[in-house]
Amino acid sequence: MKIDIRTVRDVTILDCSGKITLGEETISLRNTAMSVLQGGAKKVLLNLAGITYIDSAGVGELVRTFVTAGNNGAKLKLLGLTGKLREVLTITKLLTVFEVFDNETAAVLSF
């Protein structure tokens, strides 16, 4: 999985593409999120539009990242849920945990 970091206004956006599965990818997501948060980011947007596949470990990591952000006084939101990812989050009833957006501008303005 590739993660690119950019900033729009004061929102840090993590563009993720590829798969999020148990192993390197979940570790990479965890590390990137941690370093961004430790760098002082208080507004983080996970752009998942490029994610082609996610397994339950990946979903678990998303939740953990969300909780960690909260513990660091930051807000984390999701952008661009693909069909499969949205479906998994719906079945597991975790969709309501997150604030989810389809449009980047709306997401950035919402913080």
Partner 1 sequence: MDETYSILLAGLKATEESLALQHFSQSGHRMATAENVFDALDKLQGQRIDLVYFQASADSETVGEVEKIRRRFPALPIVLACSRLTEGLMLDAWRAGATDIIFFPLAPHALDASLQRSARQIAARESEPALPMPARFFFLDETGKECRVNIFPPRFTMGRSHGNDLILGQPGVSRAHAEVLVNNGEYLLRDLNSKQGTYLNGMRVEQKKLTNGDKVQLGGLQGIALVFHAGDLLQSLLSGSDPRSEISLSLHGFREVGMLFAAFRALSSIPILDDLLALVVDTAIEITAAERGFIMLKETSGDLSFRCARNDKKCTLDGSVFQTSQRVPFDVFSTGQPIFIKDLDLGDEHVDHSATRRLGLRSISCVPLQYFTVHDSDYLSRTEHAETIGVLYVDSSNVGSGSSHTRVEALNTLATEAAMAIYNARLYKDSQDKRRMDQQLATAHEIQQALLPDPERRLPYVHACSQNLPCHEVGGDYFDYFATAEKHFGFALGDVAGKGMSAALLASLIQGALSAQTLFDTPLPSMISNVNRILAQRGTGNRFVTFFFGTLDPDGNCTYINAGHNPPILLRPDGSMQELTVGGMVLGLFPDAEYEAGTVQLRPQDHLILFTDGVIEARNKADEEFGMDRLVSLLRDNARAAAPEILARLRDSVLAFASTAPQHDDITVMILGFQESQTGET
For binding to partner 1 (CB under 8 A), which residues are involved? Answer: 22, 26, 56-57, 59-61, 63-64, 67-68, 91-94, 96-97
Cα–Cα distances (Å) from 8 to 41, 67, 80, 106, 107, in that order, read: 12, 23, 16, 12, 11
Based on C-alpha coordinates, what's the Rg of the chain?
Answer: 13
18 or 60: CB nearest partner 1: 60
d(CA 76, CA 5): 14
Nearer to partner 1, 11 or 37 (CB): 37
In angstroms, give the least distance from the CB of 80 to partner 1: 22
Q: Using the minimum distance from each CB to partner 1, give the nearer residue, 57 or 100.
A: 57
The CB-of-99 to partner 1 minimum distance in angstroms stands at: 16
Q: What is the distance between the alpha carbons of residues 89 and 30, in angstroms, rounded to a whole number?
A: 19
